Structure 1
């Protein structure tokens, strides 16, 4: 069979496999099971059009409307109607019943805590999530906020004043995110924002927050372009520079390899950021970068690219893919067939790598912000599993940290200006899911990433799992 035909068959078989796996992944990620990560926050953003002022109201809710209607119980739907009519006691009863049926529903828990507040005085924060473009990531982020709100309010709030959460759906669209940022900035009750999801979206919204002196903390945007973008912009996730440095050191010191090729998406700020930072780190550490292969190129051919990489003398393949190009990255994994070691960023931290990559992905090393097994001394893995009846992802943990940081700022000075001053102070410190939370003058978090590798295991239904690498 010719090489051209072999490539065509490979791509066709991969597409069929992905199609058959899709239903299984959807079913599993919507149940209370381990979810190694859904879609990367740095995917190509949604192309939905900006919204009118009236439709913008449909993107915001503290409980009067469902933003996630899919799978909502009848009691949850009744509760939303009760909140809209001011019948908070009925809403509380219905939401408690709904959560008994589905403990893993963060929207319901947020609305429950908001309903318990009723018309009392409260402090309000907002959380922006990509419900329309990536429901799994949105749920992961909401779980982090919901857990922090629940713990705070159950313990008496801030000097007796509870925390209320407003949910905003931006579909991971920069234009819609800017509109939502404007709406939040105009709402004087909103004292801080958690979000946004992807780097492009966060960059667009950050301009509005900075102009209006409203603090925003992103738990998922990693592009280095966000560093120092404004005195009101922070993040609890390490930037791509941390991930790139960790992967470079692993390649040169642990693998004892010096030459890598990089696969990336030229249409993604995250992917380009990770590629550039990895290239800089490798050269600084004494290594070399060969060719760069654009996964977004319509003529991209995994078999030819891997063949070219090997012919160039490449010793390592670095996958700086995002979720929009995860299928192309999987083609690379399968064509490579374990001939060259694989490195990757958090964009490859998905169920597909385990289920479809399988044996071909074994020993792949990824840099991610946090892993539930990496810190056995932390209480968060236990408390989160008890609350959600499932293990949580790094997105939940880093969002929890963002909420903890905002709460710490509120505790010191419950005003927009006060929160910014608190988080910017050189002595600011709070303890979150992933340890100490401190911010650099750039707004970045001074925290190392966690390297994980793919190994056979039974913690997922795929026969493979992500395992933390220790002793580095």
Structure 2
């Protein structure tokens, strides 16, 4: 346990370490707990370590908030828990802690299926995952067949809405809802012409192309190129992606107008080099560029804030499923606890506590609430009878249309009403924000487009 504490200090607030420290403390003090699993998309070359960390921050924070509630404030053991001096903990029904198993899917479908086959055999109540749409689609039937609930904090593909599973839920919006918001804003800004860069081999990215085309044209916009899959210059995942040829292709389009054109980027979820190529494309745009750049949450990357092309940064707009610092929502505990746990000096806070962090936190909090509801003692005659928590019971709790839990920025509810046309486990009334990039002292931050000053959303600039 001391080694884990030392590791926490040396590894600059690593969330994986905090999860293992929580687990070790539960075992060391022989405390009772429930167990969940979280899957992460760490690929072989570890290039998406930051992505995995942003997910684990949300899970680790929710776990810590539970386990700190196992001790009274004056209890000597409390000091062993990180966060004890600023987090007001609440154990599950005041008696049970939370252990987390971390499983790496490798961001590869075969590996994700192997992980799912392993997790269904573990003594867990549910899975926080998968992260990407591709991995979720590859594993959703495995969890369904074995009656284990999974809540995805990142899969937005419309396929999961149209092919529902009673054991699948998600804390993010689906892609169509994101496109409705961002296309309306683009048309409002007179960006009526668009070119679309994506990853044709990705289910998420390719379906996004179809959804964007449909929604953008319905709003009065026009795609100024032929079908994207026929234009190799617009394929972000091609191994020989050529920046200059792609930029030249945009200018060659017959209806190209720099003042009215938007480049819409939807790379896959770091399965190929599409994300890196999209960032390079933005960096390569000329400084006097009038073209706007737009994208979904997959383009919400801290690498964007490090680009030298500051003029282009001011023309970027992204659709985000959850913005953790949205002032319209008032879960101050989440914001304060997150900043105390994860803030690093001289580093943009919105790249540490991200929409991914918030959605993973929400998935964990949903499980915690479901476990708490199911484990409530039932009154029988004059006795309170403890209730056993089961996987089937967790699913029934989520399937109740009256279920709700407090999330990072808003109440968590799912589309499960029998009378609804959308009984599919999607999040009901999901929070969606449109984000732009603004200067913040020595660096830049992501904030909602309704604001120009980071201070207006509670951010401190150096």
Superposed pair shares fold, TM > 0.5: yes
Provide the rounded CA distance (Å) in 2 between the counterparts of 1:335 and 1:107. 37
CA RMSD of aligned residues (A): 2.2
| Aligned mates of 1:397, 1:344 — CA distance in 2 | 19
How many residues are matched? 375
Q: Is 1:243 aligned to 2:168, yes or no? A: no
Correspondent of 2:118 among 179, 183, 203 = 183
Work out whether residues 124 and 163 of structure 1, in 8 Å CA contact, stay in contact via their aligned partners in 2: yes
- CA contact 1:321–1:345 (8 Å) conserved in 2: no
Return the match for 1:450 from 406, 424, 433: 433
Cα distance, 1:251–1:415 mapped onto 2, change above 3 Å: same
Question: How far is the alpha carbon of 1:231 from its aligned partner?
Answer: 1.0
1:101: how far off? 4.4
Specify which of 300, 306, 313 is matched with residue 361 of structure 1. Answer: 313
Q: Return the alpha-carbon distance in structure 2 between the equivalents of residues 97 and 201 of structure 1.
A: 34
Q: Report Cα offsets for 1:292-349 as digits up to 9, x if no partner.
A: 3322344652222221246445632222234432343235433365222221112221
User: Are residue 115 (structure 1) and residue 24 (structure 2) matched?
Assistant: yes
Q: 2-side partners of 1:363 and 1:299: how far apart?
A: 23
Q: What is the alpha-carbon distance in structure 1 between the residues aligned to residue 311 and residue 266 of structure 2?
A: 20
CA deviation vs aligned residue, 1:367-409 (integer Å, no higher than 9, x gap): 1122233236331221111122343111111100000001111
Specify the alignment match of 1:104 in structure 2: 13
Q: Aligned partners of 1:296, 1:387: CA distance in 2, in Å?
A: 36
CA distance in 1, matches of 2:64, 2:325: 24
Which residue of the partner structure matches residue 87 of structure 2?
A: none
Structure 1 residue 148, shift from structure 2 partner? 0.7
Structure 2 equivalent of residue 386 of structure 1: 340
Match of 2:252 among 274, 283, 308: 308
- Which runs of structure 2 are paired with 1:331-342 in the superposition (5 Å)? 331-333=280-282, 334-335=284-285, 337=287, 338-342=289-293
Q: Which structure is richer in relative contact order (CA contacts within 8 A, separation 6 or more)?
A: 1
**Contact persistence 1:363–1:455 (CA under 8 A):** no
Alignment of 1:467 with 2:447, yes or no, is yes
Between the aligned partners of 1:331 and 1:303, the Cα distance in structure 2 is: 11
**Mapped contact 1:274–1:345 kept (Cα < 8 A):** no
Q: Is the 8 A contact 1:222 1:238 kept in 2?
A: yes
Aligned ranges for residues 249-328 of structure 1 at < 5 Å?
A: 249-253=184-188, 255-291=189-225, 292=228, 293-297=234-238, 298=240, 300=242, 301-309=245-253, 311-313=255-257, 315-322=261-268, 323=270, 324-328=273-277
CA shift in 2, pair 1:310/1:373, >3 Å:
farther
| Alpha-carbon distance in 1 for matches of 2:254, 2:301 | 26
Checking the alignment, whether the CA contact within 8 Å between 1:306 and 1:336 is kept in structure 2 is no
Query: 128, 141, 149: which one pairs with 1:207?
Result: 141
Cα deviation, residue 415, structure 1: 1.2
Change (3 A) 1:465 1:195: same
Task: Please point out which of 387, 395, 409 is paired with 2:356.
Answer: 395
1:326 match: secondary structure: helix
Cα distance in structure 1, aligned partners of 2:33 and 2:280: 51
Other-structure match for 2:300: 349
Given that 2:410 and 2:431 are in contact with CA atoms closer than 8 Å, whether structure 1 keeps it comes out as: no
Select 2:96's aligned residue among 147, 150, 161: 161
Q: Give the secondary-structure state (helix, strand or coil) at the position aligned to 1:420.
A: helix
Query: Per residue, is there more helix in 1 or in 2?
Result: 1
User: Which string of whole-angstrom CA distances, capped at 9 and with x for unpartnered residues, describes residues 134-168 of structure 1?
Assistant: 21111111111111111112113223121111111
Q: Which moved more, 1:268-277 or 1:100-109?
A: 100-109
Deviates more, 1:267-276 or 1:331-340: 331-340
Distance 1:335 1:106, change over 3 A: closer
Aligned residue number for residue 152 of structure 1:
66
For structure 1, the residue ranges without an aligned partner over 5 or more in a row are: 1-90
Give the match for residue 138 of structure 1.
52
Does residue 221 in structure 1 map to residue 135 in structure 2? no
Deviation at 1:353, TM superposition (A): 2.0
1:256-283: CA deviation from partner (whole Å, max 9, x where unpaired)? 3322221111122222122222111112
Q: Deviations over 1:408-450 (max 9, x none)?
A: 1111222111111111211111111121111112111131421
Identify if the C-alpha distance between structure 1 residues 335 and 388 changes in structure 2 by more than 3 Å, giving closer, same or farther: closer
- The answer on whether the counterparts of 1:196 and 1:202 sit within 8 Å (CA) in structure 2 is yes
Secondary structure, counterpart of 2:427 in structure 1: coil
Q: What are the equivalent positions in structure 2 for 1:39-54 lying under 5 Å apart?
A: none
Tell me, yes or no, if the aligned pair for 2:324 and 2:408 is still in contact at 8 Å. no
Moved more, 152-161 or 404-413: 152-161
- Alpha-carbon distance in structure 1 between the residues aligned to 2:390 and 2:11: 35
SS of the aligned residue for 2:103 comes to strand
Cα drift, residue 196 of structure 1: 1.3
What residue ranges of structure 2 are gaps of 5+ in the alignment?
71-90, 229-233, 375-388, 416-422, 452-462
Contact 1:408 1:430 in 2 (8 A): yes
- 2:322–2:431 CA contact under 8 A, matched in 1: no
Contact kept in structure 2, 1:247 and 1:278, CA below 8 Å: no
